[in-house]
Amino acid sequence: MTYDKNNIFAKILRGEVPCDKIYENKYSLAFKDINPQANVHILIIPKGQYIDVDDFLKNASQDEIVSLMQAVTEVCKITKVASSEGGNGFRLIANTGVDGSQEVPHFHFHVMGGEPMGLRGLRRS
Ligand code: AMP
């Protein structure tokens, strides 16, 4: 499978589509999900062209991988969902491929919280 340069997150990264940015570092970008499924619902993406978590972990540089994990920490700090920030926790999801119900073929983490998540994001549909 080759990377689709016309996916919506590629367009956001090129500045062709706006996003509600909450954090950015050298290799990563975080913005609000356009259709939030929780009080806090943030997407964190690498700026490089990676289809999914498998592609990212196999092909990204150490700096890109560290940068993305730092972005997760920063997003949890900004949104105060982490217990270290006084929050009650959160769900970190990487939907992957067809069986994982991944809609946008550019690797992304969902950070969801700000309220009890129950089985949201996990339930059979
Ligand atoms: P997934 O099923 O893991 O691929 O999730 C893709 C997510 O991207 C969904 O939660 C969508 O609501 C979200 N999404 C799609 N387009 C946009 C956009 N333009 N800005 C922000 N979030 C988006």
Tell me which residues are annotated as active site: 108
3-state DSSP of the chain: CCCCCCCHHHHHHCCCCCCCEEEECCCEEEEECCCCCCCEEEEEEECCCCCCHHHHHHHCCHHHHHHHHHHHHHHHHHCCCCHHHCCCCEEEECCCCCCCCCCCCCCCEEEEECCCCCCCCCCCC
Q: What is the pLDDT of residue 122?
A: 80
Ligand 1 atom with the shortest distance to the CA of 37: 10
Please report, for the chain, the start and end positions of each structural domain, with discontinuous segments joined by +: 8-113
Whether the model pTM is above 0.95: yes
Q: What is the pLDDT of residue 125?
A: 59
pLDDT tens digits, one per residue of 59-111: 999 999 999 999 999 999 999 999 999 999 999 999 999 999 999 999 999 99
Mean per-residue pLDDT of the chain:
96
Distance from the alpha carbon of residue 58 to the mean position of ligand 1, in angstroms: 23
% of the chain surpassing 70 pLDDT: 98
In this predicted structure, the answer to whether residue 36 has a pLDDT above a threshold of 80 is yes
Q: What is the pLDDT of residue 60?
A: 98
CATH of domain 8-113: 3.30.428.10
Distance from the alpha carbon of residue 28 to the mean position of ligand 1, in angstroms: 16
